[in-house]
Amino acid sequence: MRTRPLKVALLGCGVVGSEVARIMTTHADDLTQRIGAPVELAGVAVRRPSKVREGIDPSLITTDATALLKRGDIDIAIEVIGGIEPARALITTAFEQGISVVSANKALLAQDGAALHAAAEAAGLDLYYEAAVAGAIPLVRPMRESLAGDKINRVMGIVNGTTNFILDKMDSTGAGYQEALDEATALGYAEADPTADVEGYDAAAKAAILAGIAFHTRVRLDDVSREGMTEVSAADFASAKRMGCTIKLLAILERAADGESVTARVHPAMIPLSHPLASVREAYNAVFVEAEAAGRLMFYGPGAGGAPTASAVLGDLVAVARNKLAEATGPGESAYTQLPVSPMGDVVTRYHISLDVADKPGVLAQVATTFAEHGVSIDTVRQQGKDGEASLVVVTHRAPDAALSGTVEALRKLDTVRGVASIMRVEGE
């Protein structure tokens, strides 16, 4: 057992960082045994130095993260600041200083993962980021390492805790959107700017990271087709309920049947109540991975929050510390397939379309003809009339997204269609 400690710089001490510091302190002896050397919290970089931070020696606090990394004795940096800058510059500085990095920063990894991986590899250092996707759930390392001998064809899951919390509250208690978002924020689930959660950017960043790992290719945030959940209404939930469904914000990554391209998307979708994802409540996440030999695997657990996320960070810290002692590194980026990412129009799925129409003879036939003209086959239609107007709900069979967009564009031009109230994809059947 080595007695000289491995020194850790903690960059950020908010919801996640404060829990990392707490567990490093309270579990110090166990961590020492598991690593084979003590790990010492050698410095904590924050923005507001005067804030009271329970359990942290005030002499460790600094506002100069760069100086902390450059002081010459740091072995491992944990980046839990979030956002693009200064996180990117700090991780780059760490690599220049010979320091391995553990990060929870999905936004940065989805935007600049390739460059950061390259910098780590060039310096012979580790970049680990289990906490960046699905909080406490071991998912990144199982996909990078345990499934490295298999071929992953599809990944579908709930990867944002905040939006799952909001949708769950709207569905189960009838809570309003803002009330549920405020609660998720108070519980430490939301990003610094919760727009990242509700508009789907956070889930899209995680989707980009998972797609890269699953398909051994590079997928950036901009490659992921993204729709948030701010438009999901009580009427959508009522409609979903009538179909025996609920609504979840899903990330779906697919390899094309010919294996020559992939798709990556994030959007709200109706899923049957019998589907395992339908029972994922509150800020929990769940991810299905379909691999050629393994079949269908499901990963489930807390997807956000300080302590759950710190668990994933600490797991990475132990792995990186062990690598340091062995003078080795873990697996780097694997992007050898270089598969193109196809546009959303190529995605094939089912749709639930809610229309406000005039309630008069021939309207239903006109609407049905428009679907047929665009090659979209109708599965069910439900009409409810009221005072000369009617609400028409059409559920389709599987069709390309481009065909559905063409249908909706044409429907909007019909005099008898007063408006398209909502369009939602139907998944998981």
Residues that bind ligand NDP (CB under 6 A): 12-17, 45-48, 51, 65, 80-82, 86, 104-106, 131, 135, 188-189, 191-192, 304-305, 309
51 binding partner (options ligand HSE, ligand NDP, none; Cβ < 5 to 8 Å by kind)? ligand NDP
Strand positions, DSSP E, 80-183: 100-103, 127-128, 152-158
| C-beta of 316 vs 401, nearer to ligand NDP | 316
Which residues make Cβ contacts (< 8 Å) with residue 63, sequence separation at least 6? Answer: 45, 46, 47, 49
For residue 32, the surrounding DSSP H or E stretch is helix 28-35
Catalytic residue among 7, 106, 169, 206: 206
210 binding partner (options ligand NDP, ligand HSE, none; Cβ < 5 to 8 Å by kind)? none
| C-beta of 17 vs 428, nearer to ligand NDP | 17
Quote the CA–CA distance of 50 and 55 in Å, as a whole number: 14
Quote the CA–CA distance of 424 and 401 in Å, as a whole number: 11
| C-beta of 150 vs 282, nearer to ligand NDP | 282
Q: Could you tell me the smallest distance in angstroms from the CB atom of residue 49 to ligand NDP? A: 7
223 binding partner (options ligand NDP, ligand HSE, none; Cβ < 5 to 8 Å by kind)? none
197 binding partner (options ligand HSE, ligand NDP, none; Cβ < 5 to 8 Å by kind)? ligand HSE
Measured N-to-C along each axis, helices 177-186 and 161-172 cross at an angle, to the nearest 10 degrees, of 130
Q: Could you tell me the smallest distance in angstroms from the CB atom of residue 202 to ligand HSE? A: 5
48 binding partner (options ligand NDP, ligand HSE, none; Cβ < 5 to 8 Å by kind)? ligand NDP
Q: Which two tokens stand for residue 213?
A: 């790992």
Q: Nearest-5° angle of CA 294, CA 284, CA 199?
A: 105
Which residues make Cβ contacts (< 8 Å) with residue 383, sequence separation at least 6? Answer: 364, 390, 391, 392, 393
Q: 283 in helix, strand or coil?
A: coil
Give residues in contact with ligand HSE (CB under 6 A): 135, 160-162, 189-191, 197, 202, 303-304
82 binding partner (options ligand NDP, ligand HSE, none; Cβ < 5 to 8 Å by kind)? ligand NDP
Q: Could you tell me the smallest distance in angstroms from the CB atom of residue 265 to ligand NDP? A: 21
Q: Could you tell me the smallest distance in angstroms from the CB atom of residue 422 to ligand HSE? A: 24
- C-alpha neighbours within 13 Å on the C-beta side of residue 222: 3
Q: Which two tokens stand for residue 324?
A: 């340091």
Q: 39 in helix, strand or coil?
A: strand
Quote the CA–CA distance of 105 and 82 in Å, as a whole number: 5
| C-beta of 131 vs 399, nearer to ligand NDP | 131
Q: Is 206 a catalytic residue?
A: yes
Measured N-to-C along each axis, helices 106-123 and 87-96 cross at an angle, to the nearest 10 degrees, of 10
If DSSP states are collapsed to H, E and C, what string results for 362-382? Answer: CHHHHHHHHHHHCCCCEEEEE
| C-beta of 200 vs 428, nearer to ligand HSE | 200
| Residue whose CB is nearest to ligand NDP in the complex, by number | 14
| C-beta of 95 vs 189, nearer to ligand HSE | 189
| Residue whose CB is nearest to ligand HSE in the complex, by number | 162
268 binding partner (options ligand HSE, ligand NDP, none; Cβ < 5 to 8 Å by kind)? none
| C-beta of 203 vs 269, nearer to ligand NDP | 203
Quote the CA–CA distance of 329 and 312 in Å, as a whole number: 18
Q: Could you tell me the smallest distance in angstroms from the CB atom of residue 391 to ligand HSE? A: 33
* Residue numbers annotated as active site: 206
